[in-house]
Amino acid sequence: MFFRKITTKKNGKEYVYVKLIENYRMEGKVKQRVIANFGSIDNLSPERINYLIASLRKLHNELDIQDKESAMSLGDSRISEVRNILSSTGIKGGLVQVLGEGQTYEVAEAMLLKSLLAGEVNSPIQESCKELGFINATSLQFYQIMKQLGEERTRAVLNTGGLLYAGSNEIIHKPRFVSLTTGIFEGTSFEMDLPGSLFYPQNYQKPFILLLACDIQGFVMDFEYAEEKKEIQDRLHQLIDRLACKTDHPMLVLDGENLLSTGAANYLVAREVPEDINNNQNHEVLQGKQFFTTVSYEQKSPTQMKEVKANLAKACAGLETIKADILLGNVNKEAVVRRKAESVIKTNNCQDMVSFSFNELTQTFEYQINEEAVKQKNQSIITQTWVVEPTAAFVPVFDSIPVKTSTFRVITDQLKMPPINMYVDYHYSPEIISGHIQLEIIKQKITRTLNESRQGGEA
């Protein structure tokens, strides 16, 4: 972005205006557009210039650290609420059973609170938990707890036992289907030179296959983790055997990537319907088969999310300019303010994300960002059609099943204690990666309970 001075002549008099311009790319060409008009340079007094600079700097700082600040403030307001949920849902009891009481549980709780309420904080977990006032523990303690969370015995206690907290709404919380999905674990390592000095950090990625057991509302209840395709069959049997006491019908397995060859006595395989058949509604192909749809929400690409963030920043910058004009008395009529504000919001495609209000009597202008609308803007709705493979078994399928597994496709290192390259595979062991997945399941349970309690629903 840059400022441009525009000079025009009218009635023999020269006028100079200042505009904030942005370069952008469309259809392979670089174009320019006006983000904000600052009016005549004669009206740009030192006070107004300082105000605009301060507003832009404030906006930049807010955008730069808003994730961290919101996470910190969220943690302050919800720590006790999360702790109550840990106790009331039985999650705390399960963690104590696996890890023990005292400091070991406190380390696990601190790790969970930090990941849930301050996930965007990038410092090593022992430092961030200390700064947040959760606990003062060593990096080794956090690492060992994460490793314990990833052990199979932990899943048997936390996930199978965790199904019991549903209370009167138990049917909803029973395992209903298994979703097979591929994903990536993302971490960091350091290169080392010959003298032993640490060089620049390097990204680390490890692909995996997840078997996610979900209830009828699409929430993940249990899982198995595989690194190779040949492990899937055994992992699936382990998962279904663990859940057998919680269901009285064959499990439905959604295999959208054809990772399984066929079904078995205790599970049925559903394949995704090819687009050409689905779009043409080829009933001859589908005749005699049970089919249904799933609805899921996925994060848009980083580029698309950056565009949403940039549009929001530009809209806020434009509205700050309007606020400055009102404070300086350059604009005071509601019709003019409304027209300018609506134009700024519409130009930046922020109609659902930003709203404003203006009181002509008091000359006060305010605007608000709808965080829920921003979240929805960063998501895409994915609808898929599935066909259950022919079988003699009866399976009660549903017209539409929600699937809430998108957050498990990219699992990010929460410990933030990168190893040296030569030890990276040992550091990010299967147990550590499984521990991160288990942590994500617990977070989803807590978030679900928070949302349902606020809506008056059952957890």
- Do 294 and 266 lie in a common domain? yes
The answer to whether residue 411 sits within a structural domain is yes
List phi, psi (to 5°) of 332: -145, -5
The answer to whether residue 76 sits within a structural domain is no
247 pLDDT tier (thresholds 50, 70, 90): confident
Q: Which residues, 6+ apart, have CB-to-CB distance to 381 below 8 Å?
A: 295, 296, 297
What pLDDT does 243 receive? 84
Cα(244)–Cα(174) distance, rounded to whole angstroms?
11
CB 146 within 8 A of CB 415: yes
- Do 260 and 397 lie in a common domain? yes
The answer to whether residue 20 sits within a structural domain is yes
Cα(236)–Cα(147) distance, rounded to whole angstroms?
22
Task: Tell me the residue range of the domain where 19 lies.
Answer: 1-44
As given in the structure block, the two tokens for residue 179 are 């979703």
- Do 274 and 247 lie in a common domain? yes
* Residue 126, pLDDT above cutoff 90: yes
70 pLDDT tier (thresholds 50, 70, 90): very low
* Residue 401, pLDDT above cutoff 90: no
What pLDDT does 370 receive? 80
Distances (CA, A) of 185 to 208, 230, 311, 407, 410: 7, 19, 30, 12, 6
75 pLDDT tier (thresholds 50, 70, 90): very low
Q: Which residues, 6+ apart, have CB-to-CB distance to 445 below 8 Å?
A: 89, 91, 162, 219
CB 163 within 8 A of CB 176: no
Which residue, of 326, 350, 377, is where some domain finishes? 377
The answer to whether residue 27 sits within a structural domain is yes
The answer to whether residue 253 sits within a structural domain is yes
What's the pLDDT tens digit per position in 341-350? 999 999 999 9
What's the pLDDT tens digit per position in 291-325? 888 988 877 877 888 889 899 999 999 999 999 99
- Do 435 and 357 lie in a common domain? no
Q: Which residues, 6+ apart, have CB-to-CB distance to 64 below 8 Å?
A: none
What pLDDT does 62 receive? 53
Instruction: Find the mean pLDDT for residues 1-5.
Output: 70
- Do 203 and 338 lie in a common domain? no
- Do 346 and 284 lie in a common domain? no
Report which secondary-structure segment, H or E, holds 213.
Answer: strand 198-214
Q: Which residues, 6+ apart, have CB-to-CB distance to 285 below 8 Å?
A: 277
CB 56 within 8 A of CB 71: no
Q: Which residue has the higher pLDDT, 263 or 130?
A: 130
* Residue 285, pLDDT above cutoff 60: no
* Residue 377, pLDDT above cutoff 80: yes
- Do 400 and 316 lie in a common domain? no
What pLDDT does 123 receive? 87
- Do 364 and 389 lie in a common domain? no
- Do 334 and 211 lie in a common domain? no
CA dihedral 415, 310, 26, 28 (to 10 degrees): -40
The answer to whether residue 126 sits within a structural domain is no
CB 424 within 8 A of CB 134: no
How many degrees, rounded to 5, is the angle at CA 426 between CA 425 and CA 430? Answer: 80
Least confident window among 166-175, 259-268, 303-312: 166-175
Cα(187)–Cα(423) distance, rounded to whole angstroms?
13
CB 332 within 8 A of CB 63: no
Q: How many structural domains comprise the chain?
A: 3
CB 85 within 8 A of CB 91: yes
- Do 229 and 349 lie in a common domain? no
110: alpha, beta or left? (left if phi > 0; alpha if psi -120 to 50): alpha
What pLDDT does 459 receive? 42
Q: Which residue has the higher pLDDT, 9 or 178?
A: 178
DSSP three-state, residue 50: helix
Cα(387)–Cα(254) distance, rounded to whole angstroms?
9
List phi, psi (to 5°) of 296: -135, 160
The answer to whether residue 116 sits within a structural domain is no
CA dihedral 172, 176, 181, 186 (to 10 degrees): 40
The answer to whether residue 271 sits within a structural domain is yes
- Do 256 and 192 lie in a common domain? yes
CB 45 within 8 A of CB 97: no
- Do 317 and 282 lie in a common domain? no
